[in-house]
Chains A and B, each alone.
Chain A
């Protein structure tokens, strides 16, 4: 079954229900499992858009609801799972029972499928810190929808002063044949971005720094200026590090030294005249293009005026 793929989770002890009941081969196999577990585990790659949607739906929750749940969509392959989209599902939770609107979940999934047919349901998320018994029930439902679903929790209540984002997969527990329980084993999470996504997130990080939490999109030249400022900051950090090493305050690290060598060698060594000529020709090209663009604009403006005559 697919559960075998997920057994390589880190740090917890998954029990294999298909094993025999005698203890000694069981123990050796357990040792073996420990070894492979420590090496690698299945990853969950999350796109930031998913997290943003989750936080957004948490902020819009109904009065009285303490947490929000929803479906995760994405793609899964042998070793890792990629979460690319999500939508929230209305649900009601009380002390002893939980009701989730499954019709709604199915509908939304159909609609989403029309836009991106390659996404499938790969799990569900919930806000809040702990995993409750209700989660088990909901998880069971999702296991009917998808093979081996992932459960993700986002701690929006900020219990430990940080937004803990964790992912789990369920595995059977207990002695087979008798009472079986379900245990959630955690998985490692990696954040993955498309290039353009990263740029979007960078912009949002800058928004974070401004006091009124707002930010306009800057003009082009200003962007180059800010990028240059960035590089300057990085250079000054490096310079201070180098000075510390030279004066003996900090131990020299060989790998850092190698990177520095790479960096200095990357600036291409060109003779002054060659560089001058290259620079000038490039600048000439750009100036010519600017001139032509201005000319075209003047032309159409003129044409406009002539027509109106």
Chain B
């Protein structure tokens, strides 16, 4: 498996269904989720269908997700649709999806089926002109760590995981069948031309503001974590020093007592006296770092696009002036 399954074949119906699901159900910053179905073929993962999950509402307490899934898959099997669970999809708000919940869900999926992926669909970026759909999978190293559930600094140090090695991106390829090509041809003739090519829109400050705000929040969170870790380190060293001092004093006392002929003081259990401070779990820090990295990359891509657009506008002005 290790380096295989590098490509993801997505059939167009899936793309459209995901878009539609978000459009109809997800408003604001809620996420919509659903399940991906498909097959594994040689070194490719083919996604051929998907169905959405209903939203969690407060008055729907007795709603059983697992049952819903089972029923859907059984029904789909009747109509010859591949019913192999190969992953799940989620919409995201400005690219903020690297979270504990995502990690946990993806881990459980990947544990069951090795090649499963999570498709992240960014509706806001898509509305700006180009489909933004990315597929991610947890790296094998991260899988191991999740299995052990050991998030202390030492374990992470051993595994040498950096925030860049948490999720690996899988390239997506979209494949159309011939019949769908005919359909598209038909559609193109009959439908009206899009009247606003959003991609060339120059007003970008709103989007930039939002992204930067989210980035700042994350960086704040990050600095908090760093402070926590630093205090932990300092406490640890202080404690070591205290331990040493105590041991030394003990030694001195013992030699004094011996010289006076008294029995030495019993060796007390130092560990009980100096309980080592709790090591903060590093997983959250990793997640935040990964999220910050994601934001930065998105922002950079966005600014490069905008620069291109600005230069185009300049060329236009240059002609008319």
Among A163, A215, A228, A294, point to the contact of B174 (Cβ < 8 A): A215
Q: Is B276 an interface residue (CB 8 A)?
A: no
Query: Using a Cβ–Cβ cut-off of 8 Å, how many residues does chain A contribute to the interface with B?
Result: 89
Is A218 part of the binding interface, using a Cβ–Cβ cutoff of 8 Å? yes
Contact flags B178-201 to A (C-beta < 8 A → 1, else 0): 111111111110110010011110
Please tell me if B79 contacts chain A, counting CB pairs below 8 Å.
yes
Least Cβ–Cβ distance between A248 and chain B, in angstroms: 27
**Which residue of chain A lies nearest to B69 when distances are taken between CB atoms in the complex?**
A111
Interface pair A162/B304, CB less than 8 Å apart? no
Q: Which residues of A contact B112 (CB under 8 A)?
A: none
Q: Which of B127, B185, B222, B306 has the most CB of A within 10 A?
A: B306
Partner of A194 from B20, B305, B308 at Cβ < 8 Å? B20
Which listed segment binds B: A34-42, A237-245, A295-303?
Answer: A295-303
- Residue B78, interface by CB 8 Å: yes
- B187 near A60 with CB under 8 A, answer no
Q: How far is the CB of B270 from chain A (nearest CB, A)?
A: 27
Is A13 at the interface (CB under 8 A from chain B)? no
Residue B110 at the chain A interface, CB threshold 8 Å:
no
Instruction: Give the tally of cross-chain contacts (CB within 8 A).
Output: 250
Say if the beta carbon of B101 comes within 8 Å of chain A.
no
Query: Does A80 interact with chain B (Cβ within 8 Å)?
Result: no
From B20, B78, B182, B302, contact of A84 by CB (8 A): B20
- Say yes or no: A191-B19 contact (C-beta < 8 A), given A300-B222, A308-B157: no
Contact with B along A183-220 (1 / 0, CB 8 A): 00000010101111111111111011000011111111
Distance, CA A189 to CA B79, complexed state (A) = 27
In the assembled complex, the Cα of A270 lies from the Cα of B317 at a distance in Å of: 8
| Contact status A293-B299, CB under 8 Å | yes
Among the listed stretches B46-54, B136-144, B243-251, B254-262, which one makes contact with chain A, having 4 or more residues with CB under 8 Å of it? B46-54
For the complex formed, measure the closest distance between the CB of A204 and the CB atoms of chain B, giving whole angstroms: 5
Least Cβ distance of B182 to chain A in Å?
5
- Contact present for A115 and B54 (CB under 8 Å): yes
Q: Does B66 contact A (CB under 8 A)?
A: no
Residues from chain B with a CB closer than 8 A to the CB of A87 are: 79
A89 to B317, CA, bound (A): 58
Residue on A with the closest CB to B22? Answer: A196
Give residues 108-145 of B contacting A (CB, 8 Å): 123, 126-127, 129-133
Contact residues of B with A, CB < 8 Å?
Answer: 9, 11-13, 15-17, 19-25, 48-49, 51-54, 63, 68, 71-72, 75, 78-81, 123, 126-127, 129-133, 153, 157, 160, 162-163, 171-188, 190-191, 194, 197-200, 208, 212, 215, 219, 222, 226, 229, 282, 285, 289, 292-293, 295-297, 299-310, 312-314, 316-317, 320-321
Instruction: Give 4 closest A-B pairs by Cβ, nearest first.
Output: A52-B13, A49-B16, A293-B296, A60-B80
| Residues of A in contact with B (beta carbons under 8 Å apart) | 47-49, 51-53, 55-62, 84-85, 87-90, 101, 104, 107-108, 111, 114-116, 156, 158, 162-163, 165, 189, 191, 193-205, 207-208, 213-221, 223-225, 227-228, 230-231, 267, 269-270, 272, 275, 279, 282-283, 285-287, 289-290, 293-294, 296-297, 300-301, 303-304, 307-308
